[in-house]
């Protein structure tokens, strides 16, 4: 269990930072928070999802909700509001 947490922390530490003008996540309309992990799907940097949204996508359709493409990959990112 501790190894998983170390890997997750390291991925978050090395994640690239994305700047966005939006203050809400796309699906649940939650405010972005610096302490939460965010993801992009298939390299699409215009839509940034939180963990709950990514879980909801994976359990329902396994498609990107905006482009309708199958999910090939997801990546951890840091979010900074402009």
Total domains present in the chain: 1
Residues 79 and 45: beta-carbon distance below 8 Å: no
Cα separations in angstroms, 52 against 5, 16, 41, 70:
18, 20, 14, 18
Domain that holds residue 73: 2-81
Secondary structure (3-state) at 20: strand
Q: What is the pLDDT of residue 22?
A: 86
CB neighbourhood size of 72 (10 A): 9
**pLDDT digit string, tens, across residues 21-71:** 888 999 999 999 887 889 999 999 989 999 999 999 999 999 999 999 999
Q: What is the pLDDT of residue 52?
A: 92
Q: What is the pLDDT of residue 57?
A: 93
Q: Return the CATH number at 74.
A: 3.30.40
Residues 82 and 32: beta-carbon distance below 8 Å: no
| 9/74: higher pLDDT | 74
Closest by Cα among 22, 26, 71, 23 to 50 = 26
């Amino acid at each position: 269990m501790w190894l998983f947490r170390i890997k997750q922390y390291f991925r978050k530490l090395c994640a690239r930072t994305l700047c966005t003008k939006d203050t809400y996540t796309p699906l649940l309309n939650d405010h972005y928070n610096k302490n939460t992990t965010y993801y992009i799907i298939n390299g699409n940097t215009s839509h940034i999802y939180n963990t709950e949204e990514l879980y909801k996508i994976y359990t329902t359709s396994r498609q990107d909700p905006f482009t309708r493409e199958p999910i090939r990959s997801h990546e951890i990112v840091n979010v900074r509001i402009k």
